[in-house]
Every structure is written in structure tokens, then in C-alpha cells.
Amino acid sequence: MSDAGGVREPRQLSIACGDDAALAGKLFAPDGAPRAAIVIHGATAVPCRYYESFARWLSGSRNAAVLIYDYRDYGSSASVPPARAKATMAVWGVDDQDAALAFLCREYPDTPIEVIGHSMGGMFLAFHRHAARVRQLTAVASGPAHWTRHPARFTPAVVAFWFAFGPLLTAMFGYMPGRRIGLGADVPAGVYWQWRRWCITRGFHRVDWGRKLPHPDLTSVRCPVRAIAVADDAMMPPAVVRDLGQLYPFARMENRVISPREAGCDRIGHLRVFSERCRAVWPVIAGGDAMQLAEPH
């Protein structure tokens, strides 16, 4: 059955990821043969259901197959309570994102492949086996964050999250109890500790290359990388998003800043850009005006 716009009802998926994990996801596809296949890598602690409206719209507007999914030990992919979860951010960014991209490449071997990454979702392409097949990466609110690079008004919350109640609560509960503190979702302890390590260290995940992370193949990402920032994003300010090019030195970088006024709302912040209230700027993310509006890095 198709919904309005010529997009079939999503196909429920279970994507094998290594020997002991499976990623629950959905694949939206147009009625006819897709002109592109796109995987959406989500942000930390954001379930894939948040991206459903955008994915459905994207499938229809771009005539594309669009894959969304949850990382292991989280959301619809969770198989154990959060205190028993073993996932790390490295596993989410390298193994899980790689598995989702590989699935799309197998499913659509002759179709152009694109990636849309939200926050952490845009920072790992150089670690993936099929990176060279990707014809475009659109990274939204992604960049090598550091706790000192937020606006002053946001600093107290950052200090508390990384140096006070964040470590304390994670140690107490055995996971980051995001639901209790308004983060929106609980996060496995391994994800929180590695996330913290990268955000309090210059260079973000570079500190773990060859350690907790493999060495990335930086030469594998030569496609255009569209770095889209949000003007009022205190968590990932535009200046940080502009530095995403440090992780993709061989790519052709394009930079774009979205404002709340463009979206027709008072504020966007770090997470709202994929919500229905910001639908007015979805064409920018989809790439419809990228060549006219993007600025060279």
C-alpha cells in the first residue's frame, strides 16, 4: 500500500551487525525504481522514529529509498536493559553505521548511495567499508565538539553534564539515565563514557584512532560533504560544524547555516531540525538548493 506522494508503507528490517547484534530499522521506498538510496544515521540518544516523517517526505521528494534504524542496545534495537548494555559510541559510529550502509549498498547495488548524518551520524564515514561508494554526505549539526566551544550561556549545563551529575549518575545507575534528567532517553554507560572522553579532548574521536577506534581511511571520502549548521544550536555551534572538514580532508566541503527564521519558528537548537515544525528547511537538507546556497569551505 502506498501513502500520498507515491511512497510505499515502510518495510520493517532487522540488519545483522556482527555475530551478536541486529539493528531494527525501516526502509521507505517509492513506487517505482529509486533514483537514489539514502541512509540516515541518527544523533546520540535520538530514536529512529524521530526521523520517520522526514524519511517518508525525503523518499517522495527525492524518489529515493530511505533507511532509518536504531543503534544497538538502544530504541527498537535494544534487547537488554540499559544497565546491561555493552555498546560504546565507537560501536555505534563504526560497526552499526557501517552495517546500515553496507545493507543499503547490497540492497541497491546499481543505485547512487547517499548518507545523511545527524550530529554523531555525520562523523564516521571514513571508518566505513563502503565509504568510496557514497556520492554525497550531508552532515547536519556535526562537528568535532569540545566542551569549551559552546556559547557562554550553555557552559554551566555542559560542565554539569561532563564533570558533575553526568559522571555521578552514570556511575550510580550503570547507564546515563537520560529520561530522569530531561535528555529524552537512557544511554548505555559505554556510550556516555566515550562520548564524554571525546568531548573533553581536543580533536574529538582522533584521540582513539588506533586504540578504541580503527584508523580511518581518510582518502576514501572524496565525495561532496555538505556541512549544515543551525544558527541557534548551542550544542554544536556553526563554528564547530565548519571544522567537520578536519575529519574529511580529501572531500569537497560545502557549508550552510540554517536559521530559525527560514524554518518558520522561534528556535531550532540541536535536535528540532528534522521535526515537522521545521519542515520548511527540509529541502535544504535534501539537497534541492545545495548548489545555489552552499558556501565553499
What's the chain's average pLDDT? Answer: 92
Q: For the domain that residue 254 is a member of, what is the CATH number?
A: 3.40.50.1820
pLDDT at residue 1 in the model? 35
The more confidently predicted of residues 183 and 35 is: 35
144-193: per-residue pLDDT in tens?
999 999 999 999 999 999 999 999 999 999 999 988 887 778 999 999 99
**Cβ atoms of 134 and 112 closer than 8 Å:** no
Residue ranges of E strands in 95-202: 113-118, 134-140, 175-176, 187-188
Number of domains into which the chain is organized: 1
Where in the sequence is the domain holding 110, given as residue range(s)? 2-144+214-296
Q: What is the mean pLDDT of residues 50-74?
A: 97
pLDDT at residue 178 in the model? 87
Residue 42 within any structural domain of the chain: yes
Least confident stretch, 17-26, 208-217, 220-229, 234-243: 17-26
Distance of CA 287 to the CA centre of its chain: 16
Asked if the model's pLDDT at residue 286 lies above 60, the reply is yes
Q: What is the mean pLDDT of residues 288-296?
A: 35
Smallest Cα–Cα separation from 131: which of 144, 115, 145, 120? 115
pLDDT at residue 163 in the model? 97
Q: Cα(195)–Cα(96) distance, rounded to whole angstroms? A: 16
**Cβ atoms of 104 and 192 closer than 8 Å:** no
Residue 247 within any structural domain of the chain: yes
pLDDT at residue 5 in the model? 55
pLDDT at residue 287 in the model? 86
Residue 190 within any structural domain of the chain: no
Asked if the model's pLDDT at residue 294 lies above 50, the reply is no
Smallest Cα–Cα separation from 115: which of 93, 145, 82, 85? 93
What amino acid occupies position 179?
Answer: R
Residue 97 within any structural domain of the chain: yes
Cell numbers given for 49: 522514529
The H or E element containing residue 155 is: helix 155-163
Asked if the model's pLDDT at residue 265 lies above 60, the reply is yes
Asked if the model's pLDDT at residue 220 lies above 80, the reply is yes
Residue 36 within any structural domain of the chain: yes
Smallest Cα–Cα separation from 227: which of 215, 236, 218, 217? 236
65-103: per-residue pLDDT in tens?
999 999 999 999 999 999 999 999 999 999 999 999 999
Asked if the model's pLDDT at residue 119 lies above 50, the reply is yes
Asked if the model's pLDDT at residue 291 lies above 50, the reply is no
Helix, strand, or coil (residue 114): strand
Q: Cα(190)–Cα(91) distance, rounded to whole angstroms? A: 10
The more confidently predicted of residues 284 and 289 is: 284
pLDDT at residue 293 in the model? 30
Residue 111 within any structural domain of the chain: yes
Q: What is the mean pLDDT of residues 52-68?
A: 96
Residue 202 within any structural domain of the chain: no
